[in-house]
Chains A and B, each alone.
Chain A
C-alpha cells in the first residue's frame, strides 16, 4: 500500500475505538442532554477552565477510581450500561472494565495493550488517541487538551465546560464533549457526529 493511502487510512482508523466490551445490560436513563450549537461564543483559556472547575493541573500525581458508562443511541430506547475501574499516573493509564465482561486497556510509555476474555491482544494503534483523550479528560490536563480542543463555558451548569474539537483528527468522530467537575472531574459526555452520546461518571478512591 502506498504512503498516501496509508495516511488516509490512518486518519480514518483513529476512530477505531474498540475498547469496551459489554453485553446488553441497559437501563433507562435520562436522555435530555443537548449539544451546544452556537459557534459565536468566546473560548475559555486553560486558566479560566481550571478556575471554573476548581481543578489545578498537577494537584495529584496519580489517581484511581471507578467509572460507570452509559451509551445512548437515538434508534435505541435503552442505553448500554457498563462499569469498571481506572488508574492514572504520569506514565501509565489503565482502564479496566469489570462488569459485565472483563477487559482492560493499558497505555504504558506510549504503547497500548489490550486484553479481553481471550487473552492479550495487540490493540488497534488508533485506540491510543482515545486512551490519551480519556487520560487527559480524567486527569484534568487542560493544557494537553488545548492542542485538540477549544473550551467554552456551559450555560446550563456552572461547573461544566464544553470542549469543541479544533482539529479534523478529533472532529471527524467527536462533535463535542461536556466536562463537569468540582475540584476534580466527575463526569463527561461525548457526542459523536450523529449526536449519539456516551456519558461517563467518575468516582475516586479515597486513597487518591
Chain B
C-alpha cells in the first residue's frame, strides 16, 4: 500500500514537472536589482519604479584615448547590424514645444529674463543678446507671437538645464574632460527579453566581442562598458555555475558518504530517490507560485540536498536496526520538518523577495522528501541486512563512547565554553556592515566601469530628492522653495567655477500656479514701468501680455513636452474617487536633481521642509533597510528562542529547557564570532543564518532528547550534521558575498550544535 502511494505521488510529481516545463511555467531571471530589499512605503516604492525602471535596459559604452572618435564610429557601424542595438531616434520638434508654451505668455518667466526686467536698459541688452545669437531656434519660432522673448527664454532655459553631455556632430561627448581625456559615449537600449538569464549572457558576450574587435583595431583607445545587462549576465552565469557546481559537488559527496556508511546500493538508491523527489517538489512549487524564479534562489536552494537527505538517514538507520515500526522515527522527522520549515519561514521576514522563493523551494522540497521516506524508502529497503556494516559500527561505538565521556564532564565543559564565548565577545565586539554590495557578485572591472560612467554622466556631487505632496501644486511649490535656497547658494559661488550648484526638475517645465500668478504680476509691473518701450521702438514690435489660464499638468500631460515631465512625476491617484482629478487621498511624488551640492549644503537646503522632501540615495536606503531588517530579525530570533524554551520546558522540564537554550545560544554565538573572525564585519545574511541554525539545531536537540545516544540515533544525527555542514560549507566558495556569509555561519553553527547538542541532553531520571 505504501509503495503504491509512493509511486502514485511520484507519478503525479513527474506529470506536474512535465507540465511546468512544457508550458513554460518555469521562468528564470537574474536581474540584480530585483534582489534589492523593498521599501515598505508603497508610494515611495511605486514612485521609485516609475522614475528609474526605464533605465534598466540602457547600455553605456565609453571611448577614450587617441582614437576615441574613430573607435566610437567603428563600434557604432558594427553594432548597427546587431539585433540588440537600438538607439532611440529622437524626433525633435522644437517648433511644437515653443508653440505649446506660446498661449501661456504672460505667466512664464525664466531666471535671466526675470533679472533683466529690472530696468529698460538691462532688458534691452538681454533681448538684443537673444536676437544676435548666430542660431537661436527658440527666438526664431516665437518672436512673431511673443516679441518680449519671454516664451523663447523660458523654453530655452528648460531645455538647457542639462549640460552633463553634449552632442557634437551626432556623437555624445562629455563636457568636462576626466583624467584630461574627452569621452565619447554611446547609449543604447536593449529589449526587455535581453535581460532574461540566457539571453543576457549571449547579448553581453556579443557586445563584448564587438568591443574586443575595436580594441584590437585601435589599441590606443580605451573602451568601457556598463549597464544592468552586464550585471545580469555576470551574476547569471556565475549563479548558473555555482548552482550546478555546488549542487553536483554536494550530491556526489552525499552519495559517497552514503556508500561508505551503508555499503549498500539500496541505500544509495533510497537517498537518490529522496533527493530527486525533494528537488522535483521544490521546483514544481517554485514554478507554480512565482512568475519568475531568481537564479540566486536556486543557489541558496542547493542546501535542500543536505537537509532532505537527513530524513532518509533516520529511516535507513532505523531499518538497519530492524525496528518493527517506524512510527517514532516518522514522528521525529515530522517534528524536525516543522522546525526547519518555521526556520525558513522566518527568513522571509527579511525584505527580500528572493528569500520567499528559497523558503518555498526548501519547504516544498522537504515535503517531497518526507513523503518519499514515509512511503517508498521503507519498501525498497526490503533486505535490511544489506544496511549493516561492521567497520562503521565500530567507529560509531567509539563516537558514542566519546559523547558519553563528554556528557559526564558536561557541566565543566559548558562552563568553559560559556566563559570563552563571553570573553571573546568582550574582547572582540562584533561589528556589522550592511552594504548593497553583499548582493552583487559582479566583477571588479564592471563595478569600476560603472563608477566611472556615473562620474562622467551625472557628476560627482549629484543628490536626488523625492518631493511629496497631496497636490501637484504642493509638490511644485516645494520644488520652487528648494530652488530659491539653491539660488542663494549660487549667488555665493564663483560664476567661473565648474561646480556651480544646479537644480533640475519638473518645475523647469511647469511653474506652480502661485509662481505663475507672481510672474504675471511682475511682467505687468514691468510693462507699466516702460521696461519694454525702447525695445518696442527699436524693433517696431508690440509687447503685450494677456491674462491667460494658468499652465496645468493636465495640459502638459497631453503635450509635446510630456516626455520631459511625466517620467519625473509619480501620481498616486486615488482612483476610487474619480478619473484624473486630484482628490484628498492622492499622493504625488516628483524627482528633483541637485548637482554640485555637498551633503552639508543638502541638509541646510532641505531644513524645515519636513516629510515633504526625502533625500533619495539608493545605496544608503538599502543599507538602512538591511540594518533595520537585521535588527528586527534579532528580536525575532529571541522570540523564537523563548518559544522553543517554553515548549521544551512544558515537554521535558525546566532543566532540559535551560540546557537546550544554552546549547542554542552558545552555538549561534560561536558561529557568529567565528564568522566575524573569518569574514570581518557581519551582515544581514549572517543573521539570517542564525534563524536556520536555530531550526536545524532544534532537530538535533529533539532527536537526542527523544531517542538518546543510541547507535542509530547518533549515526543518523552524525550523518545529518555531516551532510548539512557540507552543503552549507560549499557555499563559502560563492562569489556573491550574501551566499558566502550565509553558508559560512550556518556551517559553523552546525559544527557547534553537533558538539553541544549531546551535552545538553537531560536523562529521564534527571528531569
Question: A residues near B, CB below 8 A?
Answer: 1-24, 69, 71, 73-77, 80, 82, 101, 110-111, 118-122, 124-126, 128-130, 132, 134, 147-148, 167-169, 172-174, 190, 192-194, 196, 198, 200
Shortest distance in angstroms between A115's beta carbon and chain B's nearest beta carbon? 9
Given contacts A3-B457, A5-B567, A7-B90, contact A16 B160 (CB under 8 A): yes
| Cβ-defined contact, B169 with A2, below 8 A | no
Would you give 5 A-B contacts (Cβ < 8 Å), ordered by A?
Answer: A6-B164, A10-B165, A10-B167, A16-B156, A173-B135
Residue B491 CB within 8 A of the other chain: no
Residues of chain B touching chain A, judged by Cβ–Cβ distance below 8 Å, are 51-52, 54-55, 58, 88, 90, 92, 94-95, 124-125, 128-129, 131-138, 140-141, 143-144, 147, 156, 159-170, 172, 175-177, 182, 187, 457, 495-498, 500, 504, 535, 538-541, 563-564, 567-568, 591, 593
Question: Closest 3 interchain pairs by CB?
Answer: A125-B175, A125-B163, A120-B496
Interface centre among A77, A111, A125, A196 (most CB of B within 10 A): A125
Candidates A110, A119, A173; contact of B137 at CB < 8 Å: A173
Q: Which residues does chain A contribute within 8 Å of B176, judged by CB atoms?
A: 111
Q: Closest Cβ of chain B: how far from A79's Cβ, in Å?
A: 10
Decide if B500 touches A19 in the complex (CB within 8 Å): no
Bound Cα distance A128, B177 (Å): 14
Given A12-B159, A18-B129, A168-B170, output 5 extra A-B contacts at Cβ < 8 Å.
A4-B58, A14-B167, A15-B137, A80-B131, A110-B177
**CA A4 to CA B540, docked complex, whole Å:** 42
Which residues of chain B are near A119, meaning CB under 8 Å? Answer: 495-496
A75 near B177 with CB under 8 A, answer no
Query: Given A12-B159, A125-B166, does the pair A5, B141 have CB atoms closer than 8 Å?
Result: no
Chain A residues in 8 Å Cβ range of B495: 118-122
Give Cα A22 to B92, complex, Å.
Answer: 29
Inside 8 A of A148's CB, which chain B residues have their CB? 169-170
Given A2-B55, A120-B496, A147-B170, also A8-B563 (CB < 8 A)? yes
Q: Are B134 and A130 in contact (CB under 8 A)?
A: yes
Residues of A within 8 A of B593 (CB): 1
Closest to A145 in B: B169
Least CB separation from A76: chain B residue: B539
Chain B residue nearest to A21 in the complex (CB): B129
What's the least CB distance linking A14 to chain B, in Å?
5
Would A9 and B162 count as touching, CB distance under 8 A?
A: yes
Contacts of B161 in A (CB 8 A): 1, 9
Closest chain B residue, CB of each to CB of A115: B496
Is the CB–CB distance between B129 and A20 below 8 Å? Answer: yes
Query: Which residues of chain B are within 8 angstroms of A1 by Cβ–Cβ distance?
Result: 161-162, 504, 568, 591, 593
Asked if A13 contacts B134 (CB within 8 A), the reply is no
Complex CA gap A121/B567 in Å reads 32
**A22 engages B128 (CB within 8 Å):** yes
Cα distance, A198 to B177, chains bound together (Å): 32
Quick one: closest A residue to B131, CB to CB?
A: A80
Contacts of A8 on B, CB cut-off 8 Å? 90, 563-564
**With A10-B172, A13-B160, A124-B160 as given contacts, are A194 and B128 in contact (CB-CB < 8 Å)?**
no
Contact A18 B168 (CB under 8 A): no
Asked if residues A110 and B182 are in contact (CB atoms below 8 Å), the reply is: yes
- Do the beta carbons of A15 and B135 come within 8 Å of each other? yes
B135 and A22 form a contact (CB under 8 A): no
Cβ–Cβ < 8 Å partners of B540 in chain A? 76-77
What residue of chain A has the Cβ atom nearest to residue B534's Cβ?
Answer: A24
Name the A residues within 8 Å of B90 (CB-CB).
7-8, 11, 168
Asked, given contacts A1-B504, A7-B90, whether A69 binds B132 with beta carbons under 8 Å apart, the answer is yes
Contact at A147–B169, with CB atoms within 8 Å?
yes
Alpha-carbon separation in the docked complex, A14 to B159 (Å): 9
Complex-state Cα separation, A132 to B170, whole angstroms: 13
Choose from B54, B128, B133, B169 the contact partner of A169 (Cβ within 8 Å).
B169
The smallest beta-carbon distance between B338 and chain A, in angstroms, is: 48
* Complex CA–CA separation, A74 to B144 (angstroms): 9
Query: Which of A10, A14, A21, A132 has the most chain B CB atoms closer than 10 A to its own CB?
Result: A10
CB distance from B61 to the nearest CB of A (A): 13
Min CB gap B78→A, angstroms: 18
Report the separation of the CA atoms of residues A73 and B347 in the bound assembly, to the nearest whole angstrom: 71
- Say how far A23's CB is from chain B's closest CB, in angstroms: 5
Chain A nearest Cβ from B266, distance in angstroms: 62
Contact between B128 and A80 (Cβ–Cβ < 8 Å)? yes
CB pair B172–A23 under 8 Å, yes or no, is no
